[in-house]
Amino acid sequence: MNLNNPGAEMFVPDNSPADAAVAKTTHMCVSAHQDDIEIMAFHGILSAFGRADNWFTGVVVTNGAGSPRDDLYADYTDEQMQVVRRAEQKKAAVVGEYGAQFLLDYTSSAVKDPGSNDLVEDLKAILTAAKPRVVYTHNLADKHDTHVVCALRLVRAIRELPERDRPDALYGCEVWRDLDWMTDEDKIPFDVAAHENLAAALLGIFDSQICGGKRYDLATIGRRRAHATYYASHGTDETTSLSFAMDMTPLIHDPALDPAEFALAHIRRFQDEVSTRLAKLG
């Protein structure tokens, strides 16, 4: 597989042959940054953890150069941070027993460049080799520009594949905006209560981010626990940990469906729900 960036890398935690490691993929996450996978796609990691019939592959698009830094990492250069973040992501792949981990080494500006097709071509090559059944990525209502553009590039890449090579499902997940606001009919709830020790371990690996002043480990576990309790207003908790996703599968099967209109339709359904309730009770 020829990837466009000289610094791009594929890491296989169990040292099995690269082609075989990719080909056995069933679940995949395409994320903008190191640690996004562990925050938003724990459902996919769990689906493969300790199993011989499912295998998880991670794809990180950017190089991590622009991440905030403090404490031990306060004086690190962008180049040093890239080394640290790449190492952290590989550690997560080992602990989570991923089948493979891609590090595509793009800058954020390169990902956002409308004149470049490099990322789309890289994603097409990976998807064609892996043929995952389920793909996780950032949701279209995320408030981080690089997250959203990665999701848009992924949708484009999948649309350009032959039907036989497209995944069965594409889910937009939570990082820089959760999805509790969506109507219950639109939410895809993932029960991620199993192996909470693994969840904590994966999130805790990214020391450069936690020392950088952001407690992603505590916040992510807390959000999942809050979702589990607040998901149903008139029932007892059925799990201790939930994450939500936006089902973006229609976008990969209907090339005429505009991603912006698709996202705004979710917002309008939420608006209609609130409006209807207020009219009924007011």
Q: What is the pTM of this model?
A: 0.96
Asked whether the beta carbons of 31 and 60 are under 8 A apart, the reply is yes
Residues 180-226 have pLDDT tens digits of 999 999 999 999 999 999 999 999 999 998 887 789 999 999 999 99
- In three-state secondary structure terms, 191 is strand
- In three-state secondary structure terms, 246 is strand
Give me the mean pLDDT over the 14-40 stretch: 97
Q: What is the pLDDT of residue 233?
A: 81
Domain 9-256 carries which CATH code?
3.40.50.10320
Q: What is the pLDDT of residue 57?
A: 98
Residue 257 clears pLDDT 90, i.e. is over it: yes
Domain boundaries, the chain: 9-256
pLDDT band at 251 (very low <50, low <70, confident <90, very high): very high
C-alpha–C-alpha distance, residues 84 and 132, integer Å: 29
Residues 152-193 have pLDDT tens digits of 999 999 999 999 999 999 999 999 999 999 999 999 999 999
Angle, CA of 226, 230 and 234, to the nearest 5°: 155
